[in-house]
Amino acid sequence: MLLNNNVTEFILLGLTQNPVKKKIVFVIFLLSYLGTLLGNSLIIITIKTSQALGSPMYFFLFYLSLSDTCFCTAIAPRMIVNILQKTITISFSECIIQIFSFHFFGCMEILILMLMAVDRYVAICKPLHYMSIMNRRVCSVLVALAWVASCVHSSVQIFLTLRLPFCGPNVIDHYLCDLHPLLKLACTDTYVTNLLLVSNSGALCIMSFVMLIFSYVIILHSLRNHSAEGRKKALSTCISHIIVVILFFVPCMFIYTRPATTFPMDKMITVFYTIGTPLLNRLIYTLRNAEVKNAMRKIWKKN
């Protein structure tokens, strides 16, 4: 429920106020976003059209690319348009929508990464039962549960936001709407809200990161019993996943596992995991995956 809210819109300060730097940032972010869209689209089309990529790993990679695209799209287009504007405003309702979509697809990406770790564990540690355990029905149910969990997580963020009364300043020193910068503008004690934020987003990041790293340690340990060729292939796949996990989770934990204090580097760190990581993910999963590259070549030659 919205409480004593006299603020109908917020003013975003953006990344910089320097006109020259704004143009540079505009070009960089536009190219990064277009690269992310192109890379994700190629992966989605390749997985959907290639019979060679029918394993559960690529089923999850399809949804990771989809959530990556939506996660980046929840922030990037508006940010790119806002860069060249002198005054950046966002209505309260648009701010709520941005928070919901940002956290929904961010949580979705975290859960898909966890499902990919489970898939690799079963494939490497239980190879004889892999296809029976990770059949298409099981994978579909797991993805559906990830969607539900993401909706619950983002709904909690909206609930926390709507409980905050805004009756004074409306200037957000950021380029997007999120709970951390909004807590500074609330005209009430935000101690409890901050604890709830850390226990929700912060705990999600830490627990997921620890579970993922622990699972990959177990997977890598089990590779001792495989052949040299099997170890090489499994190691290449796992290293790709671990790199993606580190690139995404380390910035998230820095932002969401501390009190509601802001640092000058917060904006750039947020840029990294909202714009940079989705672009790097595509490069990692294509350049380090021979099956995806071969499938793309076949589709290119066919067309």
DSSP states along 55-120:
SHHHHHHHHHHHHHHHHHHTTHHHHHHHHT-SSEEEEHHHHHHHHHHHHHHHHHHHHHHHHHHHHH
User: For the chain, what are the domain ranges?
Assistant: 9-298
> Does pLDDT of 4 surpass 50?
no
Predicted local distance difference test score (pLDDT) of residue 180? 82
Q: Over the Cα atoms of the chain, what is R_g?
A: 21
> Does pLDDT of 174 surpass 50?
yes
45: CB partners within 8 A, 6+ apart:
299
- Over residues 132-145, the mean pLDDT reads 93
- Calpha distance 174→159 (Å, rounded): 21
Predicted local distance difference test score (pLDDT) of residue 260? 64
> Does pLDDT of 303 surpass 70?
no
Predicted local distance difference test score (pLDDT) of residue 46? 85
Superfamily (CATH) of domain 9-298: Rhodopsin 7-helix transmembrane proteins (1.20.1070.10)
Mean pLDDT score of the chain: 84
> CA angle at residue 152 from 211 to 167, to 5 degrees?
115
- Over residues 174-197, the mean pLDDT reads 84
pLDDT in tens, 191-210: 888 888 878 888 888 888 88
β-partners of residue 91 are 9
β-partners of residue 18 are none
Q: What's the pTM?
A: 0.87
Predicted local distance difference test score (pLDDT) of residue 66? 92
Predicted local distance difference test score (pLDDT) of residue 1? 44
> Does pLDDT of 61 surpass 80?
yes
- Over residues 229-239, the mean pLDDT reads 73
> Does pLDDT of 291 surpass 70?
yes
- Over residues 105-121, the mean pLDDT reads 89
Nearest to 99, CA basis, from 16, 3, 167, 200: 200
Predicted local distance difference test score (pLDDT) of residue 275? 84
Do 150 and 109 touch, CB atoms closer than 8 A?
no
- Calpha distance 231→270 (Å, rounded): 35
**Range with lowest mean pLDDT among 30-34, 120-124, 239-243:** 239-243
Side chain identity at 280, as an amino acid letter?
L
Predicted local distance difference test score (pLDDT) of residue 188? 82
